Amino acid sequence: MKWYNLYGQLLSYQRLSEAWLKVKANKGTGGVDGINLSAFERNLEENLQQLLSDLKAKTYKPMPVLRMYDGQGAWDIFMVSVFILVDTFLCA
């Protein structure tokens, strides 16, 4: 697959549905927007269609990533990035 064709590959309802199933199977969590799997799934068709139309119109803007730091001591600190649910399955 050519690099310039990656965005075109994303603009498929089937690809978005497959990505949603991957995130659901991995029990993905919601992010800073407060939307979780069950809330997104309640209007799944509508949410996927809206996302697809935003992607096609190139108006989709990813939300900021929540960065959290975890660890006990000075050497154990690591950063955890929390994406919103939609951004998670766009990366899937």
Domain tally, the chain: 1
Q: How confident is the model at residue 44 (pLDDT cuts 50, 70, 90)?
A: very high
C-alpha span between 40 and 26 (Å, rounded) = 15
> What is the average pLDDT across 2-22?
79
Residue type, 3: W
**pLDDT of 41 above 80:** yes
Structural domain boundaries enclosing 74:
3-91
> What is the average pLDDT across 48-66?
86
pTM score of the predicted model: 0.73
More confident residue, 64 or 25: 25
> What is the average pLDDT across 14-19?
89
